[in-house]
Structure 1
Amino acid sequence: MKSKSTKRIENKKKKMAALIEISRLNEYDRNLKKTQISEANGSNCSELEPSVKKPRTEAPIGDSIDQKVCVPELGPSGKPKLSGLELQELKKMLREKTTKMRQQPVFKLRDVGINASLATDLENRVPLFLADLQHLIMYSQLGHHSPYSPARWCALEKFNRLATTCVLVVENMTLYHYMAHGNMFPFVSSTFEHKLEILAPNSSNSDVVRELSMVPLTGTQVKKFCTQYGTLEEAVHKSSEVFDTVRSLFPIEKDKEGKNQLYPDLPPTDRFPRTQLLLSGWQMVEENFPLPIKGLMENKYAGYVLTKDRYEDVTPHSKMFGIDCEMCKTTIGDLELTRVSVVDEDLNTFYDTLVKPENRITDYLTRFSGITYKMMKNITTRLQDVQEDLRRILPADAILVGQSLGNDLHALKMMHPYVIDTSVIYNITGDRVRKTKLKTLTEEFLSERIQEGKGGHCSTEDSMASLKLAQLKLTKSLYFGDAVMGNLHSEIRTCPELGTYNYATSMLKQTTKVDKTAVVVGLNEITSKYKYCVDKELKVQQQNEKIKYFSEKNCKEVVKKMCDSMGMFSLNIGHVKLQEGQLEGTKVFKNVDKWVKEIYENISTPGLVIVLFSGVERSNGCCFIQLKRDV
């Protein structure tokens, strides 16, 4: 075997030989360059076509160069190297192309949007709200001036470079139709990069037009309308711009008698409708309430049940029930329900029971829960028993009241549409994120002391305190006890800084406030709905010149009119509605794909194209989003 020293010497020899070879090659290059320069000076070659050295492989070291041929110099890529005017023109063209590309708008999904994508597994998919789509539409028109941003689920960069935004709504078409007949939508499937699941608005007491057109009031608008009309309730009566809206994800039967939504005959103890204290769908999302959303029901909320199969419209006369739960830690390392208490408006105990967890208790958390081993020794009631009891005894329009009520509903594994959360309606910190404890609120506003005993909390006492706080607020004003919206103990409202989800205004009016214009093309009944959502009682002299409406006889005419008028408006909404009989065959799916193609080909660039299949009750919809950019 060779020794290490011998190997080192051989390696050094190889390196020296390589260095000598490199030196010979460099010398050859220098001689070649000198020869080419001298020949070029004495030849007829153009200055713009300098001779270029040949590849080293073509001439061995030591050979003389006798050829006097002017060949283009090759760059590192092997292509001819440009110089002079050609090089300047190329650089100019590249600069223009780069600048143009940088100015193009960009659309991309964030994590929430990716979770809603059809590319995500069904078990892990969480659909978006139609309000999410509304926020994107408004942002495409107003950018940072939009009252609501779509940043929760997507990003739209350089919105101001968009020439137009086009929205096609196909009502009654569902996600199932698209997934089951995917081969009937070749253009949609191949052209649209982003395909997302959308929660169907018609699965609740709402419709597509209202969900798409109604925008919750901002704080500035609340201040404006309250200053002008005194209260928002008066603004609803006297202004064509303010709408009273109750939105929910739950199956609510419409009021058959068609009563006035404002219900002027309030209970004698209430100074304003208790419905105004209800959390909206968006607030319930923000406060982590369990919601019957497809995707979450099968995964995160598996085993959860609704408090009723069907609900009635909530009114100012709907009964309130204070509710509180206590939990203990079990072998799964999590908290499980061990007690639930419900009190009625007369502060009587409506329901109170101890609950045996599915798993063995490892920590009773007595100093917080008040639960002891002795209390739980002979308990046989299970969570399913409690769920059945509450489903049976709670009214279909019951309003549940509690402190951080979302936690209690998670413990019960139940979902309810009408909730008042005292941690939301009362705020003494001036910061919405910082919540105040129930004990502190009770001392501050009720002058009562709770949770004083060493034996832990009492769920009956806590549920009663929450209900008293809600009742107190109803005797004062909507802004009482809220440092953000007004003075803590004053009934006089100061300037509110936040808006409200209970009242809304028109999206079309929002998007056309500055230099934007909008057009709505649809069937007659649909166009009328959009008109109503702009002005409740539209008169000729009140018509907004920036918003145009066109009514057509059928879906095909809607698409044709939309294509003809698209270049004149910054926001284009086309709305067609398919009847149940039309969805029985496959021809309609091909027609929808054809309509989308026609609209896409006629839109100005760069343009944002959104196609919405609205879905139907208990069957979600989907949307397709694509930025058509300049080629």
Structure 2
Amino acid sequence: MIPFKENKKSIMKAFSNKQEERKEKKKKKLLALAKIVQLNDDDRRESAAEQIAAATCETSAHNDDDGFVKVTHKKKAAKANAKKPQISLPEQGLRTEDEPQNKRPKLAKCESIDGDSSDTSSSTELAAEQQRLKLQLTEEQYKDLRRQLRQRKRELENVPILRMREFGQRASLETPQNQRTPIFLTDIQHLLMSALIGKKSPCSPDRWCYLEKPLRLSHSVVLILEGLSLYHYLSNESKFSQTNQIFQTRLELVLPPLKDGSIIEEMAQVPLTNVQAHKLIEEHGSLESAVEMTKDPTLLVKAIFPINEACVESKKNNLNVGDKFPRTKLLLSALQMVDEGYPMPLRGELSERFKDYVFTKDKYEPVTDNSPMFGIDCEMCRTIIGHNELTRISIVNEKLETVYETLVMPTNKIVDYLTPYSGITAEMMQIVTKTLGDVQRELKELLPPDAILVGQSLNFDLNAMKMMHPYVIDTSMCFNLSGVRRRKAKLQTLAMTFLKEAIQENADGHDSVEDSLASLKLVKMKLANSLEYGDEILTQKKRLHDIMRLASGDNIKNNLLAYASQRDKRTAIITSGTLQSQMKEILMKTEEISIQETQKSVSLYELDTNKQAINKAREVALEHNLTITNLRLGIEEFQLDNAEKTVMKIDKWIAKLWQTVAHNGMFLVLMGGSTECASGVAKIAIKKNATAVAASIAATTPITM
């Protein structure tokens, strides 16, 4: 029998040998992984260096013409990316004796850096790999290499990523036109707000995309090309050679009507700084309501519906008697109407869905703060085609008078009268002869061109009427009892809570006149109070802000933006030509609380030409969190003789701005609509590591062992 002490020694020796063997395995795995990483980085740098060299050659030919010293840009880019880590292996680890230089070792099994495996086949393969590679790492080299790989992993985890959600994918130019639904300028605003503020932003782009690690973005650069429409882009897409290499995300975009400064003016309505946010919160109670109050909800609606802008000057825009705030602030925006399923005359998939629908007016007038409101409600019955069709419609005016009331015979045979809900019976419909077409014609004559329709989930009513209308107030959206935006209260609950009226209690079914009156009364009551009235979400935000402000006594820092940043986000706005007075007023208000010129959070540059604007953007982009450059392109520049030259010039501008964007910077190109085509294009890219490293190859040196 073996003595206990000797047996214990042999066990401990075997255990120690196994530990050493396991440690050697880790070293070999780590070295193989580092080798793969290094070779991949080398390939990416070589590829990116070739692209930059080609772009530099092309750009250098125009250097004298542009009047921009590129050395300045390279120094700034190098400075922005100098801290980027690279993996460097010991010399004996670069290549094996029997392996070609371009062949890479493969790991037998995916495993973490500090992981372990009991797989015997894996051990055999690792032993063979160790013998073949004939590599030896000292303990010092092993620790240093592991440190580099961990640092590399942390860097990769901190890279911002933009992913498309379903709405974003549906807006992609890769989607067939008949299935495409565009995004809106509001969507782009929400993305920029998240890029500046992060998760605390009151405006999330989650409707159409997901921005991961937004605060890791170094800065954002936006280029607006007014006059370059979707039609112009698609007609010359192949000529945007450099642009097509930069962008993978290309989306159809609905923009405001083409007029000087309209796009950039709308972009600037988002509160970009702590100073501006504080002022808006003080004025409107909460940041979310401030954002809504400073924007025109009908701006994009004007680009979609036939609205006569010439009438706007002759119309008064004073508050209606009894209103405490503008009623236009309760109107649904174009984005909300699409999200809620309202019929809209848009291209693509929506165009096919609503092809049989008609407008409530052939031509509309701009809505104002004293435009008349009409409560509307419809009742439907199920027909043989399996859908609900219109069988009754009621409309009331602001004096609570019924101005339109009729039963309607559906096009198809009724199979279910839905009497407990609709109040419609077979007896009621026996003598009805009025058709949907008759109702549509009568409503066109009845409604004024700036009418505001009010109702509970009005999208269902308009779809039943097969009509489209630009100005709507939906009580299911401007009232909220739950504190969750998507959880909507029933009209019966809202009427009892705020009006103290019991509705929809008739055993014979709903009354469309009663429902339309309830909706209109609710909106009138809200207008007589405040924007937050009846909306638990806005009320909670205002209450939270007040508590924080009283607790600290620090008015400026205690807003929702201060959580994400200790200082203001700096913004540069660059235009070719002068801005409209309205836009300048917005910028002036932003700086009202600034003490010194050096503390200005928004810098404005008005240049004479597009070329000068591009050069200025390249000069200041790295010094600001957000740079918006607005260029104007005339109709003549896209005429047959000039189109190709114009496109090549724009392509060069985009490529130059892309070179200016720093590592982890976001670049957006918004191709604005023209008089020929209201649709535009949004191109979005985040500069990834490989390109950033390649841009600063000359200024960076790898870590050595």
Normalising by structure 2, we get a TM-score of 0.67
Superposition map of 1:615-630 within 5 A: 615-616=673-674, 618-630=677-689
* Residue number in structure 1 paired with 2:226: 171
Q: What amino acid is aligned across from residue 597 of structure 1 in structure 2?
A: A
Match of 2:650, SS state, is helix
Maintained 8 Å contact 1:205/1:252: no
In the alignment, the residues of structure 2 paired with residue 333 and residue 167 of structure 1 have an alpha-carbon distance, to the nearest angstrom, of: 48
* 626 and 271 in structure 1: CA distance in 2 versus 1, 3 angstrom threshold: closer
Find out whether 1:553 has 2:604 as its counterpart: no
Cα gap change, 1:312 to 1:419, in 2 (>3 Å):
same
Cross-structure match for 1:600: 658
Choose which of 208, 213, 230 in structure 1 pairs with 2:263. 208
Residue matched to 2:444: 391
User: How do 1:584-599 and structure 2 match up within 5 A?
Assistant: 584=639, 585-599=643-657
* Residue 165 to residue 362, structure 1, CA distance change in 2 (3 Å): same
Letter paired with 2:371? S
Aligned residue in 2 for 1:247: 298
Cα deviation for residue 577 of structure 1 reads 0.7
Deviation at 1:94, TM superposition (A): 5.1
Shift in alpha-carbon separation, 1:406–1:606, aligned structure 2, 3 A: same
Specify whether residues 330 and 140 from structure 1 end up closer, same or farther in structure 2 by C-alpha distance, changes over 3 A only.
same
Task: Indicate how the Cα distance of structure 1 residues 365 and 223 shifts in structure 2: closer, same or farther if over 3 A, else same.
Answer: farther
CA offset digits 1:514-554 (Å, max 9, x no partner): 25322222113248665433225978978652322222211
Tell me which residue corresponds to 1:190: 245
1:291 maps to which of 323, 344, 351:
344
Mapping for residues 520-531 of structure 1, pairs under 5 Å? 520-526=573-579, 530-531=583-584
Alignment partner of 1:123 is 2:123: no
* Cα-to-partner distance string for 1:579-606 (whole Å, 9 max, x where unaligned): 1111213211111111111111222223
Query: Which shifted more, 98-107 or 545-554?
Result: 98-107
Kindly tell me: are residues 610 and 381 of structure 1, through their superposed partners in 2, closer, same or farther at Cα, counting changes over 3 Å?
same
The 1:518/1:528 distance shift into structure 2, 3 A limit, reads: farther
Residue in 2 that maps onto 1:576: 631
Could you say if the C-alpha distance between residues 425 and 537 of structure 1 is closer, same or farther in structure 2, counting changes exceeding 3 Å? closer
Mind listing any 5+ residue stretches in structure 1 that lack a counterpart? Answer: 1-47, 56-72, 488-492, 499-506
Query: How has the CA–CA distance of structure 1 residues 351 and 147 changed in structure 2, closer, same or farther, with 3 Å as cutoff?
Result: same
Per the alignment, in what secondary structure is the counterpart of residue 427 of structure 2?
helix
- What percent of counterpart residues are identical? 39
Does the CA-based 8 Å contact 2:261-2:579 persist in structure 1?
A: no
Aligned to 1:368, which of 399, 416, 421?
421
Question: Residue 443 of structure 1: CA displacement?
Answer: 4.1
CA pair 95-78 structure 1, distance change in 2 beyond 3 A: farther
| Correspondent of 1:320 among 363, 367, 373 | 373
Shift of 1:90: 6.7
- 8 A contact 1:223–1:496 mirrored in 2: no
**Structure 1 residue identity aligned to 2:659:** E
> CA separation of 1:284/1:166 partners in 2, compared to 1, >3 Å: closer, same or farther?
same
- In structure 2, how many angstroms separate the alpha carbons of the residues matched to 1:308 and 1:77? 80
Q: 1:222 to 1:605 in 2, by over 3 A?
A: closer
State the Cα deviation string for residues 437-469 of structure 1 (Å, max 9, x = none).
333443444454433433222222322332233
Tell me what 1:21 maps to: none
Q: Deviations over 1:312-363 (max 9, x none)?
A: 2223332221111010111222211111111223333322222222322110
**Distance change in 2, residues 1:296/1:263 (3 Å):** farther
Aligned AA (2:543): C
Q: Deviations over 1:276-324 (max 9, x none)?
A: 4433444434544333332343233332232223322223332221111
Q: 1:79 to 1:135 in 2, by over 3 A?
A: farther
Find the residue that maps to 1:214 and give its secondary structure.
Answer: coil
CA positional deviation for 1:513: 7.5
* CA-CA distance at 1:508 after TM superposition: 12
1:52-451, aligned counterparts within 5 Å?
A: 76=129, 80-84=133-137, 88=142, 97-202=152-257, 207-215=262-270, 243=294, 245-248=296-299, 249=301, 250-254=305-309, 256=311, 258=313, 263-264=318-319, 266-267=320-321, 269-429=322-482, 431-451=484-504
Shift of residue 148, structure 1, vs aligned partner: 1.6
Letter in 1 for 2:686: L
Residues 128-180 of structure 1 show CA distances to partners (whole Å, capped at 9, x for unaligned) of 11111122222222222323222222222233333322111111111111111
Contact (CA 8 Å) 1:562, 1:572: kept in 2 or not? yes
Q: Deviations over 1:548-584 (max 9, x none)?
A: 2222211111112212222322322211010111121
Quick one: distance in 2 between partners of 1:203 and 1:385?
A: 36
In structure 2, distance between residues paired with 1:436 and 1:410: 21
Structure 1 pair 542–231 and aligned structure 2 pair: CA distance change class (3 A): farther
| Distance in 2 of aligned mates of 1:389 and 1:87 | 85
Is the contact made by 1:290 and 1:414 (CA closer than 8 Å) also made in structure 2? yes
Cα shift at 1:621:
0.4
CA contact (8 A) 1:399 1:418 kept: yes
> In structure 2, do the counterparts of structure 1 residues 529 and 573 end up closer, same or farther at CA, with 3 Å as the change threshold?
farther
Contact 2:247 2:684 in 1 (8 A): yes
Instruction: Extract unaligned runs of 5+ from structure 2.
Output: 1-91, 100-125, 547-559, 691-705
Q: Is the 8 A contact 2:160 2:213 kept in 1?
A: yes
Instruction: Name the CA distance, whole Å, in 2 between partners of 1:387 and 1:77.
Output: 82
1:115 deviates by 1.1
| Cα distance in 1, alignment partners of residues 404 and 577 from structure 2 | 51
Greater helix proportion: 2
Contact 1:161 1:606 in 2 (8 A): yes
Report the aligned-residue RMSD.
4.2
Aligned residue for 1:469? 522
Query: SS of the residue aligned with 1:342?
Result: strand
Cα deviation, residue 418, structure 1: 2.0
Q: Distance in 2 between matches of 1:603 and 1:117?
A: 24
AA partner of residue 104 (structure 1): V
Equivalent residues of 1:321, 1:401 under 8 A apart: yes
Conserved? CA contact 1:428–1:481, under 8 Å: yes
Q: Which residue of 1 aligns with 2:24?
A: none
Q: 1:361 to 1:321 in 2, by over 3 A?
A: same
**Cα separation, 1, equivalents of 2:539 and 2:158:** 44
The letter of the residue matching 2:159 is Q
Q: Which moved more, 1:398-407 or 1:522-531?
A: 522-531
Give the CA deviation at 1:246.
Answer: 4.1
**Aligned 8 A contact 2:360 2:444 in 1:** yes
> 1:226 deviation in Å?
7.2
Whose radius of gyration is greater, 1 or 2? 1
1:495 aligned onto 2:543: yes
Letter of the 2:345 counterpart: P
The residue type equivalent to 2:347 in the other structure is: K
The count of residues paired between Structure 1 and Structure 2 equals 543
Q: Distance in 2 between matches of 1:194 and 1:356?
A: 48
Alignment CA distance shift 1:542-1:251 (3 Å): farther
Given residue 417 of structure 2, which amino acid in structure 1 is its aligned partner? Answer: Y
What SS class does the counterpart of residue 423 from structure 1 fall into? helix
Do 2:219 and 2:626's aligned partners in 1 also have CA atoms closer than 8 Å? yes
CA deviations on 1:18-48 (whole Å, 9 max, x unpaired) are xxxxxxxxxxxxxxxxxxxxxxxxxxxxxx9
Paired residue secondary structure (2:670): strand
Task: Provide the rounded CA distance (Å) in 2 between the counterparts of 1:604 and 1:149.
Answer: 24
Amino acid at match of 2:490: K
